[in-house]
Chain A
């Protein structure tokens, strides 16, 4: 099977656990409409992943505060996100069965005028484990969080990640409130581009994700924190890829893929041990996500 090298490299860099998968991801056979349906769950996953793990407390320091966090996530891929009904451009003899999305495990096929056409399969994932790191600084009950992996070239691939969050503790303006309450805005961008010489491997992914949340927390005995939040979020991924079309002008296709991200509810707890904070939460959204974090909090 011909593999799309760039996507494989992307997976190796950003999904180290996936290198044990036996099949890769090939976009070249997909029409723009099909590529969009194939990768939509990935766009949704970007929105889920990048908008996770952004808080464990609504309490923001009035004087200078600093945090460094390492966050692990476990995102469950629902079964309905593992297949889609393709819409082939060529003439079909008989029926077209559903085929795998990027996370699916069963590729579809149909009989065309030139014989059997088989779609690529997906990564066969029921869950996606992932991690991220972030730095935060706070002053005057306002916190700036930054995630940064500068755009860098690795062999034939250029990739980078940038994100920021701006948070303000609104309960600081309301005296005698038994809870801490904050609002937070988030923006995250993930960029990937194949920069090698093989035109057929060309892939460019630019994922933009925004979120806005309101969250509250309550600290017990100075060490235990219970927190919860409601978040609105959206994700959009721009994809450029090489398409095996008979028309030369159609070789590089562009599609914009909107993720299925809308609202999420988060509930979790944290344990404060001196400068260290361990937290865990569950995020109820399109892809239920469990996160756990270790933070250095001054």
Chain B
């Protein structure tokens, strides 16, 4: 295997990593502040992908589709918060898991009714569809570079908002003592709705960027959601820094494992055995990583501290 292939797969891993981070960031904020486990977070990923695809076709402009898709996911998130999720803050985690599981069924079926069960394929606009020559001989798709840039940009923006603005101060205060924040005259309900909608929009962003790379179909959100849970467990649930570090680790391990585990195994054991064991092991790799991290640090790599 050559170095260019490794570099390319490393970038792919980075791209998956930032996507996982966008998902994990919203979940982490919601969990850290409202103490809510939202299993329907994957649904926002799917909603973002579908809305962006729909609006891009309706308006004929990809950028407009992205903007409307993002705004649409935000609205869906706010509505879900106001109608259902708001009633769950005071409930235990079991109730939250079950109720949001019901939401998943609803959203998946709604998508199937509106757009069918078959996968939709979306196109990248021409100005993003080329390749960039990073090094002489190393060409990489521009679109994936854009995803990496957007993801890292959002991570930086998120850090700035949480650590350096008044809103972020309220968010951190709400996470550590909600009663006190409310007593100081902050409308905590509006803050919650805002944070939830914002988290949904982040998931929508990940979904609409994923649309052209993977496929858009009902249930697409849950597959990535479970990987995001792995990210959160490894990073330490409730920790944004942990989520970022773990998302990049998981993205790398998953991508590199799928690309290189089989050829590497083939050098050790027989190629036919590697053919059988390679893919199986590669798909289990991040879960084994999770088990290993838990065995050493049950609270994750970066125990929660927003």
A binds B: no
- Which residues in A have some Cβ–Cβ distance to B below 8 Å? none
Interface set of B (CB-CB < 8 Å, partner A):
none
